[in-house]
Amino acid sequence: MTTSDHTPSYVEKGKGFDRDMTYVPDRITAGARTPEHGPVNGELWPVEPGRYRLIAARACPWANRAIIVRELLGLQDVISIGLPGPTHDQRSWTFDLDEGEVDPVLGIHFLKDAYEKRFPGYPRGITVPTIVDERTGEIVTNDFPWITHDFFHEWKEFHAEGAPNLWPEELREEMDVVNKRVFTEVNNGVYRCGFAGSQEAYEDAYDRLFTALDWLEERLATRRYLMGSAITEADVRLFTTLVRFDAVYHGHFKCNRNKLTEMPNLWGYARDLFQTPGFGETVDFDQIKAHYYVVHSDINPTGIVPKGPDAAVWETSHGRESLA
């Protein structure tokens, strides 16, 4: 849904929120090989240092995931990054933080130009994260679950020494179950609350969200991270929602049974991750708040951005070391 003044509309009256999960399904793999895991519904591109540019706004939780994984694996010198600004209209994310409001590598203002260059008249939403081929300026993929999966599995040759094992083989089956529940009930659950078009849809989404958060609170009582004693991609996926919870989702999306700071295990866990190199430095609370409170004008028509909460609380002691 859109409005005539180029302001995107996300709420459809009388209905629940249904995320469009149709993306450009191409994948980047070592030697353009067929990967062992996941679908191959599009083209396969070869891993090639210096060829691809990750476009990932700090405001967006799905893009924040890609930024964190790139940092954790040490791929900064292998895959370049472009950072759109936090606000946009229905047309596209834009590079308004760069000099001249143009990405210095791709030479474009609108991210949609990379989509249109490969797919003229591209009919779907312009999303982040997106990977663009620097040679042609064309989109490669915006299929966010597989972007970070393949950063780990397909770019291993270029990982930094000591990079974490984000997808332990012995935990993969259980991790797939955890990831699915975190995505449907938490990552996407906050959006189903915020973009609900009826009271019934909202209350159903609200109940499902807090049922999942209670499950996570219990799970994290006896383990430092979601899968045990080491950080995995499951933690990255949950973190990007938790770090936005009190600043945005609690009020803006009406996820207000309680704040994250009132759930001791989840709050300690979230601070533990925030204070881990590769996590907290990727978070920009001003950009996060500007994105949600300005772009979602159907929810917040005044466009007023809240001053709080105080970000300094994220640096306080978490006390999770004993669970390691």
Over the stretch 121-175, which tens digit does the pLDDT of each residue have? 999 999 999 999 999 999 999 999 999 999 999 999 999 999 999 999 999 999 9
**Residue entry with tokens 């009271």:** 199
**Tokens matching residue 182:** 């975190």
10 is catalytic: no
287 has a pLDDT exceeding 80:
yes
When pLDDT is averaged across residues 301-323 and rounded to a whole number, the result is 96
pLDDT band for 186, please (50, 70, 90 cuts): very high
How much is the average pLDDT of 288-297? 96
- The DSSP 8-state label assigned to residue 187 in this structure reads I
Residues 72-93 pLDDT 10s: 999 999 999 999 999 998 889 9
pLDDT of residue 78: 98
Per-residue 3-state assignment (H helix, E strand, C coil) for 135-149? CCCEEEECCHHHHHH
Best CA proximity match to 212, nearest among 243, 190, 194: 190
Predicted pLDDT of residue 1: 31
Residue 279 half-sphere exposure toward CB, CA atoms < 13 A? 23
- Across all residues in the chain, what is the average pLDDT? 95
| Averaged pLDDT for residues 193-220 | 97
Amino acid at 147: I
Q: What is the pLDDT of residues 21-34, one digit of tens each?
A: 889 999 999 999 99
172, containing H or E segment: helix 172-181
CA 303 → CA 10, 11, 73, 291, 293, distances in Å? 15, 16, 37, 10, 6
Quick one: pLDDT at residue 89? 84
User: Considering 191, 202, 249, 293, which one is annotated as catalytic?
Assistant: 191
One-letter amino acid of 14: G
In this prediction, residue 95 carries a pLDDT of 98
- Mark whether 193 is an active-site residue: no
Q: Which residues of 275-300 are buried (b: 16+ CB within 10 A; e: fewer)?
A: ebebbbebbbbebbbbbbbbbbbbbb
pLDDT in tens, 215-233: 999 999 999 999 999 999 9
DSSP string, 44-113: EEE--TTSEEEE--TT-HHHHHHHHHHHHHT-TTTSEEE---S---SS--B-TTSGGGS-TTT--SBTHH
Q: For the chain, how long is the longest CA-to-CA vector?
A: 55
Neighbouring C-beta atoms of residue 68, cutoff 10 Å: 26
pLDDT at 2: 32
For the chain, list the domains and their CATH numbers: 27-158 (3.40.30.10), 169-283 (1.20.1050.10)
Does residue 7 carry a pLDDT above 60? no
Given 23, 60, 202, 206, the catalytic residue: 60
pLDDT at 13 over 90: no
Q: Which carries the bigger pLDDT value, residue 7 or residue 238?
A: 238
Closest CA to 313 of 255, 245, 257, 238: 245
93 is in an annotated binding site: yes
Residue 108 region by backbone torsions, left for phi larger than 0, else alpha for psi between -120 and 50, else beta:
beta
